[in-house]
A and B are shown apart, each in its own frame.
Chain A
Amino acid sequence: MNETQFPDRILLVDDEEALRDPLASYLAKQGFHVRQAESAAAARTMLRDEPADLVLLDIMMPGEDGLSLCRHLVEAQKTPVILLTARGEATDRIVGLEIGADDYVVKPFEPRELVARIRSVLRRASRAEAAPTMEQDYMFENWRLDPLKRRLTDPEGALVAISSAEFRLLRAFLDHPRQVLDRDRLLDMVQGREAHLFDRSVDNAISRLRRKVESDRTDPQLILTVRGGGYMLAADVSRVDPVSA
């Protein structure tokens, strides 16, 4: 991409200078235009002067916390947000994603992974400018996928653990039900966003996904292998409003 000409503008909000400085220079080296804010209030002022393409936001800060600023950014400014969180607990992540953060990373994170996620979020943002923030759940054969929280539940309502790669693969199928998708197409749809998380073969990912959604892995009923190199979701898909929990 033309990163050198129009570098993406990132605002890094964290109260710890010890992290802010090295992270800012690392991201600058990766070709981003980085500004720093040490508090939510400072971030608001800086965004008023010049908007950002993406905000990297620490959740735990003195004064106004990251979640509150995040809500403001998502609702008022439609700016993509990646949350930086020190706690890895599921509730924190879910709260973050629920109020509209695009992604989160847990400290300490691998810088390359952070960069990959930044690129992925930016790409998603540019591709779907007017994408609704409230996404509906996918329903297929009584299974339910909540795209926001990335939760898959089986017909009995039990949570079925899937990795983010499997989530993207499943979502690709759900967006194209009853269509044959060949390996290249799947790889393109899935890998395009976070390459580092999808460095296995498509077949491997399909096999893992089947392990979780098929009652008999050797005789798949949902994700069929199509002769001539491709896969197909053999189910009708509908969109419903998320269950308010």
Chain B
Amino acid sequence: MKRFLPKSLQGQMLLAVALALLVAQGIGASVAYRAQLEREDNGIIHSLAFRMIGGRILRDDDGREMRPPPGRPPRMGRLLRMAETPLRESDHRNHAFEDKLGRILAAQGFVATEIQVFERDTSDTVLGRFIERRRALRGDGRGDPKSIVVAAVRGQDSNEWLVARTLRDQREPRFLRNLILQTLLIYVVLIGVIALILRQITKPLAALTRRVEDFAANPTLGPDGRVEPQGPLDTRSLIAAHNAMEARIGTLLDEKDVMLGAIGHDLKTPLAALRVRIESVDDDDERAKMAGTIEDITRTLDDILSLARVGRPSDPQEPTEISALTASVVEEFEDMGEAVELGDTTRIVLSVRATWLRRAIRNLASNALRYAGGACVTVEKRGKLAVISVTDNGPGIPEDELDRMMEPFERGDPSRNRGTGGAGIGLALARAIAEQHGGSLVLENRAEGGLRAEIRLPL
């Protein structure tokens, strides 16, 4: 049931208006309906009373009562005088009408000892059948079925019944139809107006939603794409507040970039000085160790700076051939005499940030080197993914720690000694870079032993 309810502001609002309108119309209609019924009843009673009091009994010149010619019913407007009450066993007396009629007659000085009011279908009376027939002859046949209300009154000290009759129009279903038509008309007009107003509200909201989504995906967006404050005051303030927040985030990110640049510069210059100074160390072994340490520090520093910048890269993506890129990273390791080899590769052209992807592959390979002593790197197309895998024959990672390994500063060996690793940021950075490209980093233990790290990028 719930899923049929509209989700949007516009839908919910329109539904609420429709329901409220329906309830209001319903109440109004029932009041009007009752009023009409009462009016109709009063009309009938008054008509009966009028005929009863003012109705004349037609008499001929001799003062004898005129009877209708044989075969014709007595006329509707005429008051009849009867010896017996016309009430039959099958008739239902309408006591409310009798009371009212009695009161009206009494007020006019007509004291009745007995009043009987009942209603009959037209087809049940001679007069009714006559009227129907006449109507049909006049082509007035669409007339609704009617009934005849009959009032019989016996006056004081009289044995005769005075009988008056009147026609009642059957209550028509047209009344309900009118109500529905009226409701629909109001609804159409209202929906039009409300939709116009809602559009004023929801259009800027939709624009703002799109902007927030874009900004969440890429906080480097410039102020050009910002939504102009528009719509009603509430929406306007929301948009203005969002724009202010966007500007603030932009400033923070800019400050962060400047700060990181400064940190990089401030730390790397003394490192460079140190690197120059150790050239004066005569002991070759000692100098090589020092150079190695400086290189470690530099690499860790680069990783930290990269991790901080990975969500906001300054270089654009460009179409790059992935296997050549992977090969060039592997070759760097080969040149240093490290046991990283290139396995099968496929030519795949993807739009990437080459420096970043290169760093991710390099980190995965260094990791494999560090923990397994060697690595094999392959590039393949798998379904809609380009997969760069780095496999090793090392001890792998316990299954329950696989996810944790990709968090910054996590390492398989909690001792954090320099012999087995750096600051443990390599995998986190590789994952962040894969995600920067819309892909993912997947770590899994191989059945034949060792770890497989895959950078999966969407084609």
A interface residues with partner B (beta carbon < 8 Å): 14, 16, 18-19, 22-23, 26, 60, 84, 86-91, 107-112, 154, 156-163, 200, 208, 211-212, 215
Q: What chain A residues lie within 8 Å of B298 (beta carbons)?
A: 108
Q: Report how far A216 CA is from B103 CA in the complex, Å.
A: 115
Interface contacts (Cβ under 8 Å), in number, total 102
Q: At the interface, yes or no: B335 with Cβ under 8 Å from chain A? A: yes
Q: Which residues of chain B are near A91, meaning CB under 8 Å?
A: 314-315
In the complex formed, the residue of A with least CB distance to B328 is A161
Residues of A close to B319: CB separation below 8 A = 156-159
Q: Given contacts A107-B268, A158-B319, A160-B320, could you give 19 more A-B pairs where the C-beta distance is less than 8 Å?
A: A16-B269, A16-B273, A22-B276, A23-B273, A26-B279, A26-B280, A84-B272, A86-B264, A88-B302, A108-B272, A111-B275, A112-B279, A157-B319, A159-B319, A161-B328, A200-B335, A208-B331, A212-B324, A215-B347
B20 adjacent to chain A (CB < 8 Å): no
**Given A156-B349, A200-B335: A161 and B272 within 8 A (CB)?**
no
Please count how many residues in chain B sit with their CB below 8 Å of the partner chain's CB atoms. 37
Indicate if B325 sits at the interface (CB-CB under 8 A).
yes
Q: Are A107 and B272 in contact (CB under 8 A)?
A: yes
- B270 near A212 with CB under 8 A, answer no
The reply to whether A107 and B271 form a contact with Cβ atoms under 8 Å apart is yes
Asked whether B318 lies within 8 Å of A159 as measured between CB atoms, the reply is yes
A188 to B444, CA, bound (A): 47
Q: Please, which residues of chain B bring their CB within 8 A of the CB of A88?
A: 302, 355
Residue of A nearest to B266 (CB): A86
Give A58's nearest chain B residue, CB to CB: B269
- Knowing A108-B275, A108-B298, A161-B358 are in contact, say whether A18-B270 is a contact too (CB < 8 A): yes
CB-based contact A110/B275 at 8 Å: yes
CB of B14 closer than 8 Å to a CB of A: no
B341 smallest CB distance to A (angstroms): 13
List B contacts of A23 (CB < 8 A).
Answer: 272-273, 276
- Contact across chains for A110 and B291 when beta carbons are under 8 A apart: yes
CB < 8 Å: which of A26, A86, A90 contacts B355?
A90
Identity of the chain B residue whose Cβ is nearest the Cβ of A212 in the assembled complex:
B324
B276 and A60 contacting across the interface, CB-CB below 8 Å: no
| Beta-carbon contacts under 8 Å, B162-218 to A | none
Instruction: Select B349's contact among A87, A107, A158, A161, beta carbons within 8 Å.
Output: A158
B458 to chain A, nearest CB (A): 16
- A116 → chain B closest CB, angstroms: 14
- Whether, in the assembled complex, B327 has its beta carbon less than 8 Å from a beta carbon of chain A, the answer is yes
